[in-house]
Chains A and B, each alone.
Chain A
Amino acid sequence: MITIQGLRKKFGSLQVLNDLTLQIPAGQATGIVGPNGSGKTTLIKHLLGLVKPDAGCIEVNGVHLNGSYEYRRHIGYMPQMAQYPENMKVRELIDFIIQMREEEPVFEEELIALFELEKEMQKPLRVLSGGTKQKAGALLALMFDPRILILDEPTAGLDPRSSYQFKQWIKREKDRGKTILLTTHIMSEIEELADHLILLVEGQVRYHGRQSDFIKSNEEQRLEGAVAKILQEVSV
């Protein structure tokens, strides 16, 4: 369970998160949606301790995040645009993260095979395409079998086959009881993967609940239409 209470964050004069209070259920997949600049990535960065809140508190599995870092052992994070040290080889990057976490990976070989990374292992990261770097990012996030998966626009840059395989993996993880937090602008992905929905607009929670209820209450067939309807109302 992830609990967020009264979270506020300002960058300069811009209020990015404004008194955010949320409970993200354990063992389920939650999609975070919202227009650009609504605070999705900032919220995720707060959960990882990359950004410090101006006010409010966050608890992950009962651990109050106040400079602690051990809780991140249970988190697998896949960033929006994976960028790594250019001269490092893929194999070295994986070994480096293994050393940093001081734990043995569970799914390393399986994921290397799934994303067909065998041929890329001895290549420096600078020569890899954006999609291949994204696959390496997916591997790093998933290989330790963490309890919580935080995925920031994970399929951006992935080819259709890899994207499909990635989503299948996430569905499997969901069935295994993992807590999954996903942001994306592809609404069909949220429909496919998430049970719960958080709609953020200008740093505030506009909706938080079951995805099916959100679609129903907006009298729409698809999530995309329901989200568009709300955003239209907000802009008017």
Chain B
Amino acid sequence: MKALTIVSYQWKDLFRDKWLIGYALIYLVLTDALIRFGGGGPKALLSLSNIMLLFVPLVSLIYGVLYLYQSREFVELLLAQPLDRKSLFAGLYGGLTIPLSLAFVVGAGLPLFYTGVWIQTGFGTVATVFGLGIALSLIFVGVGFLFGLKYFDERVKGFGFALVSWLFLAVLYDGLVLLLVSTFSAYPLEKAMIGLSVLNPIDLARIGVLLEFDISALMGYTGAVFNRFFGSYLGFVIALSCLVLWIAVPAWRGLNLFNKKDF
């Protein structure tokens, strides 16, 4: 109950912050421009998904780290009240992930709604893209909190690790996987590829987008492997479970660190 009170106050506080409104506006302008100049309909939504796969993790990570650093005195004030650390952590986590997710959904959703693209592409596809965007927000705010708590007194380090982890997962990881595939092209790598893809939440979300838009064939052999595995019921359940784990593990580990932290 107290966690909800913290969420509502954080919510109010963040919405007064022009930064969050700016974040929503960026999505609004981008989505509107993609619909007008990017071919409209499913093409625009696919382009939006690709932007989302890079932009949502970056913003969530940075904001997750900075938010903890900026809330230090506020956390101290609240911990001096009869309040348990678990509720406070839940309040802080919810107080950031809910406004961030909402900014993304409203910013990107409004142009899809007023141009009627959501009808053209189908509600299911739009819901999948937004669902993946929200999942990425939850995952990377959790990871940001982890870095923020781990390097609570070394802000540059915390911020640096957050940026490097984004660079690794969003950019370098695929390059490394590609290198692996080309180096060991003589060997059967299907299982290894699937294993590697679930280790990176951005890749998991990307596979979700590929399957939803039915464009995995564009990726040739790899796409066929993903399509065969993740397109099956078992594959879908495994992918979804991995995403849930990716949300739960950083948040749980963050809570553990928060419980032991000296403020």
Which residues 80-104 of A have a CB within 8 angstroms of B? 81-85, 87-88, 92, 96-97, 99-101
CA A92 – CA B10 in complex, angstroms?
Answer: 11
Known A51-B262, A79-B77; contact A69-B9, beta-carbon cutoff 8 A: no
A75 within 8 A of B: yes
Residues of A within 8 A of B183 (CB): none
Residues A88 and B82 in contact, CB atoms below 8 Å apart: no
**B interface secondary structure, majority:** helix
CA A52 – CA B263 in complex, angstroms?
Answer: 9
Residues B80 and A85 in contact, CB atoms below 8 Å apart: no
Residues B9 and A75 in contact, CB atoms below 8 Å apart: no
Residues A69 and B83 in contact, CB atoms below 8 Å apart: yes
Residues A83 and B73 in contact, CB atoms below 8 Å apart: yes
CA A124 – CA B13 in complex, angstroms?
Answer: 10
Residues of B within 8 A of A140 (CB): 77
**How many B residues, CB 8 Å from partner?**
25
Distance between A187 CB and nearest chain B CB, rounded to angstroms: 26
What 0/1 readout, one digit per residue, does chain A (96-114) give for beta carbons within 8 Å of chain B? Answer: 1101110000000000000
What 0/1 readout, one digit per residue, does chain A (37-81) give for beta carbons within 8 Å of chain B? Answer: 000000001001111100000000000000001111101010101
**A interface secondary structure, majority:** mixed
CA A33 – CA B98 in complex, angstroms?
Answer: 45
Residues B82 and A85 in contact, CB atoms below 8 Å apart: no
Known A87-B17, A88-B13, A100-B5; contact A72-B81, beta-carbon cutoff 8 A: yes
CA A100 – CA B3 in complex, angstroms?
Answer: 9
Known A79-B76, A92-B9; contact A101-B81, beta-carbon cutoff 8 A: yes
Residues B81 and A97 in contact, CB atoms below 8 Å apart: yes
Known A69-B82, A69-B83, A100-B83; contact A52-B260, beta-carbon cutoff 8 A: yes
B191 within 8 A of A: no
CA A82 – CA B72 in complex, angstroms?
Answer: 11
Distance between A209 CB and nearest chain B CB, rounded to angstroms: 28
Known A51-B263, A79-B73; contact A88-B80, beta-carbon cutoff 8 A: no
Distance between A132 CB and nearest chain B CB, rounded to angstroms: 16
Known A50-B263, A51-B262, A96-B9; contact A75-B80, beta-carbon cutoff 8 A: yes
Residues A85 and B260 in contact, CB atoms below 8 Å apart: no
Distance between A61 CB and nearest chain B CB, rounded to angstroms: 13
> A70, A83, A96: which contacts B82 (Cβ < 8 A)?
A70
> A51, A52, A87: which contacts B13 (Cβ < 8 A)?
A87
Residues B2 and A50 in contact, CB atoms below 8 Å apart: no
Known A50-B263, A52-B262, A70-B82; contact A87-B16, beta-carbon cutoff 8 A: yes
CA A85 – CA B40 in complex, angstroms?
Answer: 42
CA A85 – CA B82 in complex, angstroms?
Answer: 19
CA A45 – CA B262 in complex, angstroms?
Answer: 9
CA A218 – CA B213 in complex, angstroms?
Answer: 83
Residues of B within 8 A of A101 (CB): 81-82
B29 within 8 A of A: no
> A70, A83, A88: which contacts B9 (Cβ < 8 A)?
A88
What 0/1 readout, one digit per residue, does chain B (230-263) give for beta carbons within 8 Å of chain A? Answer: 0000000000000000000000000000001011
Residues of A within 8 A of B80 (CB): 48, 50, 72, 75, 77, 79
B214 within 8 A of A: no
Residues of A within 8 A of B73 (CB): 79, 81-84
